Amino acid sequence: MPRIAPLSITFIALVLAWPQAATGQGLGYPQERDDPYADQFDDAYGDPYDPAFDRPTRALPRRNVYRGVDENAPEFDRSGRAAPQRRARVASLPADADPAYSTPLDYDDLVDPGVSTSALVDDPTGQPAGTITIDTSARKLYLSTGKGQAIEYGVGVGRQGFAWKGRAAIGRKAFWPGWTPPKEMLLRRPDLPAHMDGGLDNPLGARALYLFNGDRDTLFRIHGTNEPDTIGQAVSSGCIRMLNADVIDLYRRVSKGTRVVVR
């Protein structure tokens, strides 16, 4: 029987392994499935006052995904080996998102929809259906449903001396909003950037609802946060903070013109 040289054996093994290596199979990396919500973006979601509406959300949990605060952090397979990095996807903005204030990149896959404070409760506000009421002392936001109930979310509010109360309406909506600090804030905090594009490190978080009095921007917003541990506290400069999963949920339930009561 002829002997096969060790070099020949190595060559044969490489040839047999090539189809798997070329497709990434057999290397321990998870195979990505198509995103079943890739073509859905804030169009028809059903009854916005149904607590179960849009469940599961667009930000589906994905197997073996690293959910840190850095969108460029690596993912890992079960062996601990770093898998190829996932980047934010270019997004078609929702029809009601102001493009001048939005970032056309989709970071929703890195927001865990299970990290949420939303709950259906008896409505303590007495407001008509569709009204947002923010109770700054209780650190709660309520969306009245008109059925004697409301959807309740935990929020963070402004520090003493910066807290704002009054009536307004949503005048602008933004998807992964960019942030331009007002001049007054830049005077207090000269270390802040003049502008920051939307993303996981942006203090406005995943969505922003801008509060207007008539045509005038009040400079106060309901928005997400890059500091989830501040929910339930009074630490921001007057604006209303929500968990990113919560503000994504609220964004889909309300439209421009929605009445907002801050008390």
- Residue 239 annotated as catalytic: yes
Q: What's the half-sphere exposure (Cβ side, CA atoms, 13 Å) at 259?
A: 8
> Which of 207, 236, 250, 215 is CA-nearest to residue 118?
250
Q: What is the DSSP string of 122-179?
A: E--S-PPTT-EEEETTTTEEEEE-SSSEEEEEE-BEEPTTT---EEEEEEEEEES--B
- Residue 195 annotated as catalytic: no
Q: How far apart are CA 241 and CA 159, in angstroms?
A: 12
Tokens of 69: 């605060």
Catalytic annotation, pick one of 239, 242, 248, 260: 239
Tell me the β-bridge partners of 112: none
Greatest C-alpha distance within the chain? 93
Contacts of residue 182, defined as CB under 8 A and 6 or more positions apart, other chains included, come to 219
Catalytic annotation, pick one of 223, 240, 244, 258: 223
Residue that is written with structure tokens 């890739």 in the block: 38
Residue that is written with structure tokens 């309901």 in the block: 222
Could you tell me how many residues make up the chain?
263
Pairing of strands 132-135, 259-262: parallel
Tell me the β-bridge partners of 75: 83
Q: Which residues are catalytic?
A: 223, 239
